[in-house]
Structure 1
Amino acid sequence: MFSVLDESDMSIFASIAHQLCKRRNLYVFERKFEAPETVVKTATQIALEYKEANSIQGSKIKPAASSAQSWSTPPLHVFKANWDASIDKMQCRVGVGVVVRDWNGQVVATLRSQRDLFPDPLLAESIVALKAVILCNQLNMQDIILEGDSLNVVQMIKGEEKNWSCTGMIIQDTRTLLKKMKNWSVMHVSRNFNSIAHCLAKDALKLSEESISLEGVPPCIQHLLI
């Protein structure tokens, strides 16, 4: 197959094989029958999401140290939460980075954590977006702006379309939490405007447990706040 199929067809084949295995297990262990056309449709969608996510991930630009200065403050009494994910493909781990700042540009909270996860960029970014919303919810913030450099995740959060993939269900959880807030919006920004969250995500891969800072800032981002 490697000699006759291109990369796109191979990814679809692998996705279909995986869905067939899940379909078998669903029938054997839960006695639930999934229609064959559903298997193909789901597998094709997952393969497409993976391709788009890799395309976006590959096009991101490495930020310069001064890029954090391009970040803009939110309106009065509104908080802005930037999120990003960092992926360690060799170890199958994802680093989570979230920074929340107020209308004066002051950092009020940061979150760093890492988890074992299949290194799918779209899935990783959707999980980190959810973590950002959970953090704001825990801090009882009612007016927030979310910013991330994953265009696909931003569009999915803004949309209303149902998606039963792993990523789609995480996005649905994110929307549900956001609806509990008074005012919220989500925006796509370039990596240049998201460098602090990116540094937090990279640093998170070194940690053994989750770290939330409500006073002070982690050393890994201090040079970006000068």
Structure 2
Amino acid sequence: MVPQDTQVVHQNWLSPPQNGFKVNYDTVVEKSPNRGAIAVVIRNHLSHILDWHSGVISHLLEALPLEAMACREALLFISDKQLHGVTVEGDSNTLVDVINNNAPPTAIFSLVHDIIEICKLLNYILFSFVKREGNKVVHCLAQKAPRDSSFCINPMIQNHFVRSLSI
């Protein structure tokens, strides 16, 4: 079930409760070469990065649909990992409000519908807004994907890059 309230807005990344998980998602738009990127990072209550995903989306340059795609990817990732009691956090206050109030604009209606349907299959999901400063690890990951063609296909490069990121 999708919660009706968001957490308190915070600027820095905060750890989830003990034995909990936080999944952050973000996007970037690269007008040249005309593509966007999405990224998802899973961390535990010790702030350790447990897993991540990034990908390039060609010919989609609108921020809100990209954010919705990244959020949906985050939920699919949570489902795949069979995580429970997860805070899903992004830096689009608009999207968090849309999800929590189930009132999507037409441009992202089907994506929000997917998000809500996936949430029904998961055990306790909380959506939260964080300012960009608190979302910088996943933002760096999203920035790297469209700028380095070998990044998305080479797990060793990804691993080295992700492990070099600080909180």
- TM-score under structure 1 length normalisation: 0.62
Pair 162,221 (structure 1): closer, same or farther in 2 beyond 3 Å: closer
- Per the TM alignment, residue 162 of structure 1 is displaced from its structure 2 partner at its CA by 5.6
SS in 1 for 2:96: helix
* Structure 2 counterpart of 1:173: 114
| Equivalent pair of 1:110/1:212 in contact (CA under 8 Å) | no
- Per residue, is there more helix in 1 or in 2? 1
- Aligned twin of 1:189: 130
Could you say which structure has the greater relative contact order, defined with CA pairs below 8 angstroms and 6 or more residues apart?
A: 2
CA distance in 2 between partners of 1:107 and 1:212 (Å): 18
State the distance in 1 between where 2:134 and 2:49 align. Answer: 15
Name the CA distance, whole Å, in 2 between partners of 1:171 and 1:212.
31
Please report the RMSD computed on the Cα atoms of aligned residues, expressed in angstroms. 2.5
Aligned-residue offset at 1:207 = 3.6
Encode CA deviations 1:185-221: one digit per residue, 9 max, x unaligned.
Answer: 01111000000010000111124685697x9x73334
Aligned length: 156
Q: Post-superposition shift, 1:103? A: 1.4
Greater strand percent: which structure? 2
User: Could you say which residue in structure 1 is the equivalent of 2:71?
Assistant: 129
Taking the aligned partners of 1:167 and 1:210, their CA distance within structure 2 comes to: 26
Gaps of 5+ in 1: 1-66
* Distance of 2:74 and 2:64 partners within structure 1: 15
- Between structure 1 and structure 2, the one with the greater Rg is 1
Distance in structure 1 (CA, Å) of the matches to 2:94 and 2:107 = 14
Shifted more, 166-175 versus 195-204: the winner is 166-175
Percent identity of equivalent pairs: 22
- Give the TM-score taking structure 2 as reference length: 0.83
8 A Cα contact 1:109 1:212, kept in partner: no
1:101 maps to which residue?
43
2:99 to 157, 166, 182: 157
Q: Which runs of 5+ in 2 are unaligned?
A: 1-10
- The equivalent of 2:16 in structure 1 is 74
